[in-house]
Amino acid sequence: LARSMAARGRPPLFAHLDPALDLVDLADAARWFPDLDAALEWAEDALLARHPTGDRPGEIALAHSCLATGLAADDLRHLAGRLRRCELPAGAVLFRQGEAGDTLYLLARGRITVRLETAPGRFPRLATFMPGVMIGEMALLEGQPRSAEAVAAEDAVLHALSRADLDRIRAEHPALAARLMENVAREIAARLRAANRQLLGSDR
């Protein structure tokens, strides 16, 4: 099967095969991965490589981020004044699992992979985020340690909003703070709904 598909230019991806199998002779006809997520991640990266986002070479504007949904121009200016710009090279860690967390990040350029350490040295991927989304909002809201690790899958630019700056917005512009919290809640709800669909195959 692998040789037949490779001959048509579509080499298959295999995951979770018995490592005792002798598959060396098929190395040029297929790709092998330790688990399904690793195979899916490779496929996603391959698709992005074939269809690069060359139409958006710059950074996503703050107004197009999920945190800024529905904000007026004045509110955008107030929010922008509280954000701190961060640049991460590919492979750099944004935050580690178990670290104290008090900052939300808006991804403006690049990709960030969130992964969970399930065993020493084993980090299955939870999600890979594209520009426009927020990352780390749970730690900001709860004041709890980071529940996962975030790593730059490629060179990335983010804008950070700390809890201290959010508190300043709440004190100076309470209506803006309320809208920001509404957008955070909406994003969390959307992710929970997506997780439900993935796990249960429904919209519940």
What mean pLDDT value characterizes the chain?
Answer: 84
Residue 204 has pLDDT above 70, yes or no: no
- Check if the beta carbon of residue 45 is closer than 8 Å to that of residue 114: no
30 three-state secondary structure: coil
pLDDT band at 131 (very low <50, low <70, confident <90, very high): very high
Tokens 């195959």, located at residue:
201
User: Is residue 22 over pLDDT 50?
Assistant: yes
**Which pLDDT tens digit goes with each residue over 158-174?**
999 999 999 999 999 99
Q: Is the pTM of this model over 0.85?
A: no
Q: What percent of the chain clears pLDDT 90, i.e. is strictly above it?
A: 44
Looking at residue 161, the DSSP 8-state letter turns out to be E
Structure tokens that stand for 32 in this block: 């092998």
The predicted model gives 68-77 an average pLDDT of 94
